[in-house]
Amino acid sequence: MGSHGIRGLTFTILSFLWLISMESCFSQVDQQDPQVPGFFIFGDSLVDNGNNNGILSLARANYAPYGIDFPEGASGRFNNGLTMVDVLAQLLGLPNLIPPYARTRGPALLRGANFASGASGIRDETGNNLGAHVSMNQQVANFARVVQQMRRAFRRDDNAMSAYLSKCIFYCGLGSNDYLNNYFMTSFYATSRQYTPAAYAASLLQDYSRQLTQLYQLGARKIVVTAVGGIGCIPYQLARVNPRNRTANSQCNEDINKAIYIFNAGLLNLVKSFNNGRLPGAQFVYLNVIESAKDLVINGAAYGFEVFDKGCCGVGRNNGEITCLPLQRPCPDRSKYLFWDAFHPTEAANIILGKKAFSSNSATDVYPMNIQKLAML
């Protein structure tokens, strides 16, 4: 190649690099700096974003109309668009939504990973009626593998890695399936015959405490845990509720809701014990999503909601007997519905719940602080 050719090639390369740097500068102006270096998510179908796509399970959502309002379409999220953790990732200023662990490897893991799996629970057998899933025990084990990969990235400098992880936020949302797809599914599980509601909640909390402690031992310090929502009022239960389980003021299955309140009260006490020195250096935040969701119902008109007792998509009474069928046409205006299908809230509901979790100063929504303040610690 002659000198003119070399100079031309050099100019082309430098011009290309300059354009990339300018594009990067402009994009940085448009984007806020991340408030945390990483975001790690553990949970069930309320926050699963694709981990179940490649496993043999009935708990999958990688088909239309799921994702109808999501840019990537049917990604495996169990609603029409963003999940609550997607909203939180945006509010935390992260450059991208957190990817599913199933397809995340290498340096990308430093930004975080979503380990959640539809149908999963605190107990290993929870969700077996729906096929394969990744239980919380396995999700924690998967994170342990990530920590080993991080050690290599930090050149085995455990102090540097610990400092990094202490700044990340860990989100844990489990428990719903331990009731829906375990305790109250009496035809498949024996737990309701083995435990009273109080004894079952105590057993779940003992297991959950161990799992959260394992995350702490692996480096987690800023940990968000969510209450179980009012699953006695979801379309799936409204379609099945026995009239004797209703009250004069509620069409919900109050037997289920009473059991949930026992668990949630115990979970709040567990958070208080962790914060009071049981796990030194840790800060836990409790998201009282059952009360936050009540506000969406009581003040529904102010939020733009009109339909609270049926899914936007589904089959049967309350659109709650079966989840969305492939290629089924959902309701035309998802913003007016609290529920997307028999189990899961719409993107519109997730946006409000995410904002409450992030910035609410009400102890009704968050305790002892919101996620924005947690990120600043």
Q: List residues with catalytic annotation.
A: 45, 341, 344
Q: Are 177 and 126 in contact (CB under 8 A)?
A: yes
**279 vs 261: CA distance, rounded Å:** 25
Q: Which residues pair with 148 in a beta bridge?
A: none
Fill in the DSSP letter of residue 337: E
Let me know how long the chain is.
377
Cα dihedral sign for 60, 242, 122, 85? positive
Q: What is the DSSP string of 71-122?
A: TTSSSSBSSSS--HHHHHHHHTT-SSPPPBGGG--GGGGGGEEE---TT--S
DSSP secondary structure, 191-221, as one string: HHHH--HHHHHHHHHHHHHHHHHHHHHTT--
H/E stretch holding 226 reads strand 222-226
Residue pair 118/57 in contact by the 8 Å Cβ criterion: yes
Closest CA to 86 of 349, 285, 286, 328: 349
